[in-house]
Amino acid sequence: MRSMDTLTHALSTMLAARASHPLPPKPGQMSLAARSWAGFFAGAFPDIDFIAGFAGITAYLNYHRGITHSLLMIPLWALLLASLFSLLSRGRYEWRAFYGVCVLSLFVHIFGDIITAYGTMVFAPFSDYKLSFPTTFIIDPYFTGIILLGLILSFTLKRQAQKFALYGFAVLLVYVLAQSWWQNMAIKEAYTSIPVTKLDNAKVHALPQPVSPFNWKIIIATPEHYYVRYINLFRSEELHNSPQANIFSRANALYLPLQEIEWEVIPKFGVGPTQEIAQRIWQDDALADVRRFMLFPAVFRFEQATDYTCVWFADQRFVLGKLRAPFIFGGCEQHGTQKRKFFRLQDEQPVPLS
């Protein structure tokens, strides 16, 4: 669960490029086809930062959605991309012809990441602050479907290509606004059903979830606990799955009708004597990058052995009930010595943290 997938980004920026195609044509103006593909590849460009993963998971956490996703860097990236596209066109179009669509595409890509829960460093390289207005799940079939429908109509009805692309992009924006409204509904539901009377100024977070835009996860963070609830805004009955159900059905069944109020209370560092071990591991310098990355960290599980204890942490942004979660980190402390080793949990196997 990293960010909106690169193909959806590229398709959305192709749609935006076609929707913004100037009419009537001007001298030296790019063809609609050239503008479309320039938008497609410029929109995919920011995700080139995946290469940070080759330097290790901590480098990925530090640099993904960083400088290539910065609003401040858009003019520079657009200039570089426009110059490259001009060269690839063998001089048919000047870089200026590509510059505007590159700026637009980069902005649309960044906006598409901001509306997910991961967080985007829009002020890099001057700040690592991560901006997020989480209205949309990272893989939303309805979001992608609207884009595809707009593109299909735009390519099929060539005489009205720009108009249908504009309609498609407008519907996409309306869908995001609707998601924002549903998020507000989820937050209001949290305030009406919260199981504690005093929250110490804790903020209510409603995060978009998979399968349906009506599925939301509510997180309320207090100094020691998280209060978590999975809801579907319009479901009337709880879903039940057989043990053989696929992962999408099992995920969808997590979200209960509003009348079924079930809050899960999650201690950040567990309970009992293992709390001290969990806190020591979590505060170790080896997990500094993980601490910066996780917004809602909590103990995912403990593992006890004869001579050591392992503690695994997960971010509640990415936890879906008892389904497998990404970005699980932790450490093992040797009994009596407090010597520690640190790992990432990948496919249920510990991988040394780099």
354 residues of the chain, pLDDT tens digit each: 445 689 999 999 999 999 999 877 677 678 999 999 999 999 999 999 988 888 888 888 888 999 999 999 999 999 999 999 999 998 899 999 999 999 999 999 999 999 999 999 999 999 999 999 999 999 999 999 999 999 999 999 999 999 999 999 999 999 999 999 999 999 999 988 886 666 666 789 999 999 999 999 999 998 889 999 999 999 999 998 877 788 889 899 999 999 999 999 999 999 888 899 999 999 999 999 999 999 999 999 999 888 899 999 999 999 998 888 889 999 999 988 879 999 999 888 899 986
Could you give the CA distance from residue 114 to residue 118 in angstroms, rounded to a whole number? 8
pLDDT at position 198 is 62
Residue whose tokens read 């596209």: 85
pLDDT of residue 197: 62
The residue extents of the domains of the chain are: 6-135, 194-267, 274-352
Report yes or no: 266 and 226 within 8 Å, Cβ to Cβ. yes
Angle between helices 95-114 and 6-19 (to 10 degrees): 130
pLDDT reported for residue 347: 84
Q: Judge whether 246 and 233 are in contact, CB under 8 Å.
A: no
Q: d(Cα 231, Cα 217) in Å, to the nearest integer?
A: 6
Peptide bond between residue 24 and the one before it cis (omega within 30 degrees of 0): yes
Strand arrangement, sheet containing 204-208: 204-208, 215-221, 225-232, 264-267
What pTM does this model have? 0.92
**Please, which residues bridge with residue 204 across strands?**
220
